[in-house]
Amino acid sequence: MTQASENATNNGSNIFSQLATFDHEQMVFCNDNATGLRAIICIHNTVLGPGLGGTRFYNYASEQDAIIDVQRLARGMSFKSSIAGLNLGGAKAVIMGDPSKLKSEAFFRKFGRFIENLNGKYITAEDVGTTTKDMEYIKMETDNVVGLPEIKGGGGDPSPVTAYGVYMGMKASAKETWGSDSLSGKRVSVQGIGKVGEHLVEHLTKEGAKVYIADVNQEALARVSKTYNAEVVAKDAIYGLDVDIFAPCAMGAILNTENIQQLKAAIICGAANNQLADEVLHGKLISNNNINYAPDFLVNSGGIINVYSELTGYNRQIAYAQAENIYNQTLEIYKKAKEDKITTHHAALQIAEKRIHDYAKVKSTY
Ligand code: NAD
């Protein structure tokens, strides 16, 4: 056996053991030499419905990085849709390469045909590195795509609904922590004032909170600070800031052993996906430090609620009403975590897993 074929065998057996670890159903590798498309679609679980999850376009350092990322993201989508009460499973796609060099109509239409071949088992949407325009090209080849512009019958940008859900989760967290859900006079730091962060800042300032913002984009900082009278803080100073609430709305895996110790906030509640660098270790550390953590995949589920609404005929009012329910769900999570003496992240996971497990029993009858 040559070294190359041995590596191929090892990688192949690795992939199956990786899929088995978290019970992923299917992974599809899509290659097209003509357009340079190299994509992986990963379907974690389709018990509740077709797997829905966006397409991330990113220049991964290695194929293994892309494989790990797509599996992790697909699994996260299963729990997010489940806890949001949607009839959707979890899936995700990643496209490898430099978006600025590879994007074209043919590229996304080819990808659309790969999605179409899955007969509705996977529905795609926008994610990091992809836009509504890219979704429009995919739509030319398959109906299994959401996140289209409003003018094309879609729901448009889901970020306002996501931000509203985070705001609801934050108010519920305030109720749990201080007995009142009013955020008036509370000091809130928002890390990342992008599409979601800015809408969140708007809700907070309207309610009379004192808002601090950090971002790597100086232009956005100047604009948002001027519009909402928010105070700008240095990127790394945000963790040690003397605030009541910390809202991570930038990138994932940002809560780690070092910066959790610096936090003075009583609540962590933000939009970023997969905030805990290590779900178990950092979930416990946050709880031991008496910080109320609103689970990310619950409070940021407004985005998936919004795109799901496209499948049933888009209605923004219904999407907002569903996102409002994040308030009650967040309170339930705090109650369960206390009763069962587990972290809030673990409590949310248990609820999401139970719904999938319970529905599997219903599905078994034709
Ligand atoms: P975005 O790209 O519009 O905004 C992210 C912001 O974070 C940008 O302004 C960026 O400059 C800033 N940023 C990057 N690195 C930073 C750093 N080190 N410190 C401070 N700021 C930094 O993204 P978005 O759509 O607002 O999403 C924000 C987060 O919420 C992401 O993690 C995303 O996955 C998650 N999320 C978004 C939605 C949605 O509807 N858009 C839904 C669910 C989850």
Expressed in angstroms and rounded, the spacing between residue 173 Cα and the centre of ligand 1 is 21
Is pLDDT above 70 for 122?
yes
Q: What is the per-residue pLDDT across 95-113, written as a single tens digit (0 to 9) for each? A: 999 999 999 999 999 999 9
Look at residues 333, 277, 257 and name the one whose alpha carbon lies nearest to residue 79.
333
The tokens for 161 are 């609904």
Expressed in angstroms and rounded, the spacing between residue 346 Cα and the centre of ligand 1 is 24
Is there an atom of ligand 1 within 6 Å of 191 CB? yes
Alpha carbon nearest to ligand 1 atom 19, residue = 215
Per cent of the chain over pLDDT 70 is: 96
**What's the pLDDT score for residue 14?**
86
Is there an atom of ligand 1 within 6 Å of 272 CB? yes
CATH of domain 24-74+87-148: 3.40.50.10860
CB–CB of 210/190 below 8 Å? Answer: no
Alpha carbon nearest to ligand 1 atom 2, residue = 194
Is there an atom of ligand 1 within 6 Å of 271 CB? yes
Contacts for 222 with CB less than 8 Å, ≥ 6 apart: none
**What's the pLDDT score for residue 2?**
36
Beta partners for residue 31, in sequence order: 38
Q: What is the per-residue pLDDT across 245-300, written as a single tens digit (0 to 9) for each? A: 999 999 888 999 999 999 999 999 999 999 999 999 999 999 999 999 999 999 99
**What's the pLDDT score for residue 13?**
56
Is pLDDT above 60 for 188?
yes
Is there an atom of ligand 1 within 6 Å of 183 CB? no
String of b and e for 101-125 (b: at least 16 CB within 10 Å)?
ebbeeebbbbbbebbbebeebbbbb
Mean pLDDT of the chain: 94
Beta partners for residue 122, in sequence order: 51
Q: Which atom of ligand 1 is nearest to the CA of 300?
A: 43
End-to-end CA distance of the chain: 48
Q: What is the per-residue pLDDT across 10-46, written as a single tens digit (0 to 9) for each? A: 454 589 999 999 999 999 999 999 999 999 999 999 9
**What's the pLDDT score for residue 365?**
75
Expressed in angstroms and rounded, the spacing between residue 252 Cα and the centre of ligand 1 is 9
Q: What is the pTM of this model?
A: 0.91
| Domain assignments of the chain as residue spans, ordered by start | 24-74+87-148, 159-301+327-350
Is there an atom of ligand 1 within 6 Å of 306 CB? no
Third-level CATH fold of 159-301+327-350: Rossmann fold (3.40.50)
Matching CATH topology for 24-74+87-148 and 159-301+327-350?
yes
**What's the pLDDT score for residue 146?**
95
Alpha carbon nearest to ligand 1 atom 25, residue = 195
Rounded alpha-carbon distances, angstroms, from residue 70 to 45, 53, 65, 91, 294: 13, 10, 9, 8, 24
Q: Which atom of ligand 1 is nearest to the CA of 270?
A: 30
Measured distance CA(325)–CA(84) in Å, rounded = 9
Lowest pLDDT segment from 256-260, 277-281, 325-329, 362-366: 362-366
Is pLDDT above 70 for 8?
no
Look at residues 123, 47, 124 and name the one whose alpha carbon lies nearest to residue 89.
47
Is pLDDT above 50 for 363?
yes
Q: Which atom of ligand 1 is nearest to the CA of 196?
A: 26
Is there an atom of ligand 1 within 6 Å of 250 CB? yes
**What's the pLDDT score for residue 1?**
35
Q: What is the per-residue pLDDT across 67-87, written as a single tens digit (0 to 9) for each? A: 999 999 999 999 999 999 999
Measured distance CA(341)–CA(40) in Å, rounded = 39
Is there an atom of ligand 1 within 6 Å of 99 CB? no
| Burial of residue 30, with CB atoms counted within 10 A of its CB: 0-12 exposed, 13-18 middle, 19 or more buried | middle
**What's the pLDDT score for residue 153?**
83
CB–CB of 110/37 below 8 Å? Answer: yes
Q: Which residues are catalytic?
A: 92
Expressed in angstroms and rounded, the spacing between residue 285 Cα and the centre of ligand 1 is 24
Is there an atom of ligand 1 within 6 Å of 262 CB? no
Mean pLDDT (whole number) for 320-324: 97
Is pLDDT above 80 for 301?
yes
Q: What is the per-residue pLDDT across 123-156, written as a single tens digit (0 to 9) for each? A: 999 988 899 899 999 999 999 999 998 888 888 8
